[in-house]
A and B are shown apart, each in its own frame.
Chain A
Amino acid sequence: MRKDNIYIGKSVKAWRVLLFFTFHFSLFIFMACSPHEDNVFGASPAERQQQAIEKYRALLTSKSDGWAMDFYPSDLVLGGIAYTARFVGDEVELSSEMLIDNAKGDKKKYAAGQVVKSEYHVIAGQGVMLTFDTYNPLMHYWSQPSGTNSEGLATDYEFMFVSASDDEIVLRGRKYGNLLRLYPLQESASTYINDVIQMRTTLSSIPRKRAVVDGKSVNVTVMSSHFQYTEDGADKDIPYIYTPTGIRFYQPITIAGVTESELTFDTTSHDLTSPDGRMQLPLPTPLEQFCGTVTQWHFIYGTTDAKYDMCDELREIVKTAIQRTTKENNENVDDIYIGMNKQNIEDDAQRMVIGWSTSTSMVGVWYELRYGLDMMVADEDNMVIDIRILDGGLYTNNYPQFTPMLDFIRNNTPFQMQFDNIQNPQYVKAVSVADAEKWFALKL
């Protein structure tokens, strides 16, 4: 009996194991074969991709005037460049606020606002992409390679859709991540481009150094399509683009807890103001304008002592520097200046400099040497500024004779600025606050 019991017991266990596996296998079948499987997205990925292609294509072609296209090419050093894009059938008509000198491409120049047609396609790639896939100099200028620069300006011509609505389309470059943002045009493309150029001319001539956020003054630097400020101890540098009404940021900026995406130019007060009114960038004072000048103020010197418009000490320093440059570098000093770097921003990121230009006996060969400079208003009421000299640029080591001139400024800052005409200055005398005998004059 006992034996039987054991036998039957084992037999029941085997059934149970079999039943267990059979039951789970059947569950698998129930799940795998369920004919009424719910599709989370309502359609297969391929169908949705095809639908997205059709939707985006329809959206792009839906605007009869086309789109304003905020384009941030290359490594953002130039900020944003305003484009327009009108999509008709398989063709796109582009225009740009920038004169495109396509020397490395078709060797032609394309004026600002000139419309150039090419093809575009909306295709499946990484997600859905907008590609400018036949040559358009306005778009492909940025990716044109050359013998000296195999990457060109490292810019995309294929863009992935990030978001799309009737009011805004956001795209990101597939290879380099360049940003492209489209807004429906409210006017013709040519009017838009002209308005942008006008706004760029108005705003870029007067860099701004101060923001007022909820009534509190904050130091910022707004020039060359870059908005620089410090937030929580970290330096921020946000590129922006000019629009017909003001500027729009690459990404929202947050200063003192206030976040803004764009600023509007007030043609009466000349202030830049955010839509909610919490952030203003007032028109700089004459002193602030001098500190952020976009031109060059030149030192005054000549072949005789009388032509030097500076104190005796500095005159001897500068005279020696010029003589040594002729003798040791075999170059003539053509200009000594304070202000905007003459070098393009692509070649040298330092914007405010103290520099000198030299030329050789060979026609067309000249050199630009410069040290970075930071000029800040120290006392607005008394017209005092502080001048700080920063790092030397390329090849300045070859010109040690200019070091005493830099030391003179280092040792005698701050300076009181005496302008000939406060509203429209052409000449200024900088006199050391510590010692009135130390001074130099500059002219535009």
Chain B
Amino acid sequence: MKMRYNNIYIGRRVKAWRVLLFLILNSSFLILYTSCSEEELSKTSIFQDNPSSSKPFDNWLYENYVMPYNIDLKYCLEDKETDYQYSLVPATTENSIKVAHTVLYCWLQAYDEVAGIKFTRKYVPKIIQLVGSNAHNKKGTVVMGTAENGMKVTLYAVNFFKNDRSTLNTYFQIMHHEFTHILTQNKEYDTEFRTISDGSYITGDWSNKYESDALAAGFITAYAMSEYNEDFAETLSYYLIYTQAQWTSKMKLAGEEGEAIITRKLNIIRKYMQTAWDIDIDEMRDVLQRRINDVVAGKIDIDSVN
């Protein structure tokens, strides 16, 4: 009897556990499926778009940068968008307008003309950040422009912008230099290039070199001596912004030996641009020179955004 009693008793207890477990599991899953699915999301986004700007410059940027190229030209400075090591100041709106016009005419539209707008759209960086001051580093050198992973170009010294050949050359040398990096990051260039001056690259010590030293050693600038990718970008960008007369005079300064090295590098660059990108660098130079001359001659209105 005792045993039977025990059996019955245990059997009941087991049943009770089962019932309880059944109830808990069912109620849990019911709640999981019903209560969570009933919560409604607000139809209003918590992130509110900025109201459409009434500022003429913003509208101009939308029509001339965003629509054709999907480029965000930032003329308001956010410190977090820049390298923390630099102390910088924002650009003036007035000079930002001038730079925006000039970059459009002498850079974006120059590539449109030579390589087609599809090429420009695809490869130009999508953010151009304008900064008013130079970026001075503690070594005493000045950074005029930087490019980040092909996505963003930062142009400094906008507040010192002047509509003259020298200023425009400085700007477009930077722009072409940085753009060259983007192109070579997308399609490799002939590895023979890096062997030409192998052993002569001096990394950070370039700032102690004079231009004449660099030219004689077969580099178009002292900065080109820092490493072969910079050498590639410097050689092409200076070739594009120099007139033929300026280039010839630099080659004279370089001397026979220096000129031979630079010409060898330029030939590789010329071949690369033609085969990889279908761009004739001499045609590109003519187009760019013509456009820079137009701006310097005042043929292009770089002040108005109306």
A29 touches B32 (CB 8 A): yes
A15 touches B88 (CB 8 A): no
B13 at the interface (CB under 8 A from A): yes
Stretch from A142-150, A206-214, A216-224, A281-289 forming part of the interface with B: A142-150
For residue B160, which residue of chain A has the nearest CB? A106
B24 at the interface (CB under 8 A from A): yes
User: Chain B's nearest CB lies how many Å from the CB of A222?
Assistant: 32
**Could you mark each residue 125-143 of chain A with 1 if its beta carbon is under 8 Å from any beta carbon of chain B, else 0?**
1000001111100001001
**Could you mark each residue 1-26 of chain A with 1 if its beta carbon is under 8 Å from any beta carbon of chain B, else 0?**
10011001001100110110011011
B140 at the interface (CB under 8 A from A): yes
User: Chain A's nearest CB lies how many Å from the CB of B45?
Assistant: 9
User: Chain A's nearest CB lies how many Å from the CB of B291?
Assistant: 27
Restricting to B62-84, which residues have a CB under 8 Å from any CB of A? 75-80
B245 at the interface (CB under 8 A from A): no
A122, B32: Cα distance in complex, Å = 42
Contact of B79 among A11, A15, A22, A174 (CB under 8 A): A174
For residue A49, which residue of chain B has the nearest CB? B46
**Could you mark each residue 1-41 of chain B with 1 if its beta carbon is under 8 Å from any beta carbon of chain A, else 0?**
00100110010011001101100110111011001101100
User: Chain B's nearest CB lies how many Å from the CB of A331?
Assistant: 30
Residues of B within 8 Å of A143, CB to CB, are: 87-89
A134 touches B90 (CB 8 A): yes
Residues of A within 8 Å of B36, CB to CB, are: 33, 35
A12 touches B10 (CB 8 A): yes
Knowing A106-B159, A145-B86 are in contact, say whether A121-B76 is a contact too (CB < 8 A). yes
B132 at the interface (CB under 8 A from A): yes
A8, B29: Cα distance in complex, Å = 30
Interface size on A, residues (CB 8 A): 51
Restricting to A358-387, which residues have a CB under 8 Å from any CB of B? none
Knowing A134-B93, A140-B132 are in contact, say whether A150-B137 is a contact too (CB < 8 A). yes
Knowing A22-B21, A134-B75, A150-B138 are in contact, say whether A44-B46 is a contact too (CB < 8 A). yes
A25 touches B90 (CB 8 A): no
**Could you mark each residue 47-83 of chain A with 1 if its beta carbon is under 8 Å from any beta carbon of chain B, else 0?**
1001000000000000000000000000000000000
Residues of A within 8 Å of B87, CB to CB, are: 143, 145, 150-152, 154
A50 touches B28 (CB 8 A): no
User: Chain A's nearest CB lies how many Å from the CB of B14?
Assistant: 7
For residue B55, which residue of chain A has the nearest CB? A90
Knowing A19-B20, A133-B77 are in contact, say whether A144-B3 is a contact too (CB < 8 A). no
Contact of A135 among B13, B47, B80, B159 (CB under 8 A): B159
Contact of B28 among A1, A25, A90, A175 (CB under 8 A): A25
**Could you mark each residue 146-180 of chain A with 1 if its beta carbon is under 8 Å from any beta carbon of chain B, else 0?**
11011110100110000000000000001100000
A135 touches B132 (CB 8 A): yes
**Highest count of chain A CB atoms <10 Å: which of B75, B90, B159:** B90
B89 touches A15 (CB 8 A): no
B24 touches A8 (CB 8 A): no
A41 at the interface (CB under 8 A from B): no
B92 touches A22 (CB 8 A): no
Contact of A46 among B21, B47, B86, B88 (CB under 8 A): B47
Restricting to A258-291, which residues have a CB under 8 Å from any CB of B? none
Contact of A50 among B3, B18, B47, B134 (CB under 8 A): B47
B91 touches A11 (CB 8 A): no
B142 at the interface (CB under 8 A from A): yes
A29 touches B89 (CB 8 A): no
Residues of B within 8 Å of A26, CB to CB, are: 24-25, 27-28
Contact of A119 among B32, B93, B134 (CB under 8 A): B93
B187 at the interface (CB under 8 A from A): no
A154, B87: Cα distance in complex, Å = 7
A252 at the interface (CB under 8 A from B): no
A4, B77: Cα distance in complex, Å = 81
Residues of A within 8 Å of B29, CB to CB, are: 29
Restricting to B108-126, which residues have a CB under 8 Å from any CB of A? none
A88, B243: Cα distance in complex, Å = 48
A395 at the interface (CB under 8 A from B): no
Residues of B within 8 Å of A147, CB to CB, are: 136, 140, 142
Residues of B within 8 Å of A340, CB to CB, are: none
Residues of B within 8 Å of A144, CB to CB, are: 89, 133
Residues of A within 8 Å of B275, CB to CB, are: none
B48 at the interface (CB under 8 A from A): yes
For residue B142, which residue of chain A has the nearest CB? A147
B28 touches A15 (CB 8 A): no
A145 touches B88 (CB 8 A): yes
A441 at the interface (CB under 8 A from B): no
User: Chain A's nearest CB lies how many Å from the CB of B35?
Assistant: 5
Contact of A33 among B32, B78, B133 (CB under 8 A): B32
Residues of B within 8 Å of A140, CB to CB, are: 89-90, 132
**Could you mark each residue 148-168 of chain B with 1 if its beta carbon is under 8 Å from any beta carbon of chain A, else 0?**
000000000001000000000
A5 touches B6 (CB 8 A): yes
User: Chain A's nearest CB lies how many Å from the CB of B1?
Assistant: 12
B159 touches A105 (CB 8 A): yes
A15 touches B90 (CB 8 A): no
Q: List 23 A-B contacts (CB under 8 A).
A: A1-B3, A8-B7, A12-B10, A15-B21, A26-B28, A29-B28, A29-B31, A33-B35, A50-B47, A106-B159, A118-B92, A118-B93, A132-B90, A133-B78, A133-B90, A134-B76, A135-B89, A143-B89, A145-B89, A145-B135, A146-B136, A150-B138, A174-B79
Given contacts A12-B10, A119-B76, A145-B134, 9 further A-B contacts (CB under 8 A): A8-B10, A22-B25, A22-B28, A33-B35, A134-B91, A143-B87, A145-B89, A150-B86, A150-B137
Chain A residues at the B interface, C-beta cutoff of 8 Å: 1, 4-5, 8, 11-12, 15-16, 18-19, 22-23, 25-26, 29-30, 33-35, 44, 46-47, 50, 90, 105-106, 118-119, 121, 123, 125, 131-135, 140, 143-147, 149-152, 154, 157-158, 174-175
